[in-house]
C-alpha cells in the first residue's frame, strides 16, 4: 500500500504542478489547503501533521500523502473553475476521485466482490491515467500555441 500511495500522489501532484502556473494560483490552492487542514487528522490513533503546501511533499510519510489526496478534492472545490480551466479541472477531479476510491479499497476496511475489484482497480487506473493524460495534452497544446 505504501508504494501505491506514493505512486498515486506523485502522478496526481506532478500533473497539478504542471497545470497550475503562476505564484498567485499556487498561493490560492495552498491557502485553501490550510483552511481545510485546520482539523486534527488521526489515522490509527496517530495525529497527522498538517500539510503546508499542495506542491511540496518534503518529509511527508505515505499516510500524510494519502490524507493530502483526500483533502485535494476539498481544495479544488466543487466549482474549481475559478482557479483552473474546465478542460483541466474536470480531469483532475476525476483522477482524484478514482485515486480516493483505490486508497479506500486497499485500506482493508471491507471485503470486495470480484466485480467490485474489477471496477476499482482495472477501470479506475485506466480512468486516472486517461484523465491525467488529458491535462498533459492540454498543457502541451497551450505551450505549442
User: Per-residue pLDDT for 86 more than 60?
Assistant: yes
pLDDT band at 87 (very low <50, low <70, confident <90, very high): confident
What's the structural domain count of the chain? 1
**Rounded to a whole number, what is the distance in angstroms from the first to the last CA of the chain?**
40
Residues 11-65: pLDDT tens digits?
A: 999 998 888 887 888 888 888 888 888 877 777 777 777 888 888 888 888 888 8
Note the pLDDT of residue 41.
Answer: 72
Q: For residue 46, what are the β-bridge partners?
A: 43
What residue numbers bound the domain in which 9 lies? 2-144
Amino acid at each position: 500500500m505504501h508504494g501505491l500511495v506514493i505512486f498515486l500522489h506523485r502522478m496526481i501532484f506532478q500533473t497539478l504542478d504542471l497545470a497550475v502556473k503562476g505564484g498567485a494560483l499556487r498561493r490560492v490552492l495552498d491557502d485553501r489547503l490550510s483552511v481545510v487542514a485546520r482539523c486534527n487528522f488521526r489515522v490509527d490513533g496517530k495525529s497527522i501533521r498538517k500539510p503546508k503546501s499542495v506542491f511540496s511533499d518534503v518529509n511527508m510519510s505515505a499516510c500524510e500523502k494519502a490524507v493530502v489526496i483526500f483533502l485535494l478534492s476539498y481544495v479544488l472545490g466543487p466549482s474549481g473553475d475559478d482557479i483552473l480551466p474546465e478542460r483541466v479541472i474536470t480531469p483532475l477531479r476525476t483522477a482524484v476521485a478514482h485515486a480516493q476510491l483505490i486508497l479506500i479499497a486497499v485500506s482493508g476496511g471491507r471485503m470486495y466482490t470480484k466485480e467490485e475489484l474489477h471496477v476499482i482497480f482495472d477501470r479506475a487506473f485506466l480512468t486516472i491515467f486517461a484523465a491525467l493524460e488529458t491535462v498533459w495534452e492540454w498543457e502541451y497544446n497551450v505551450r505549442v500555441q
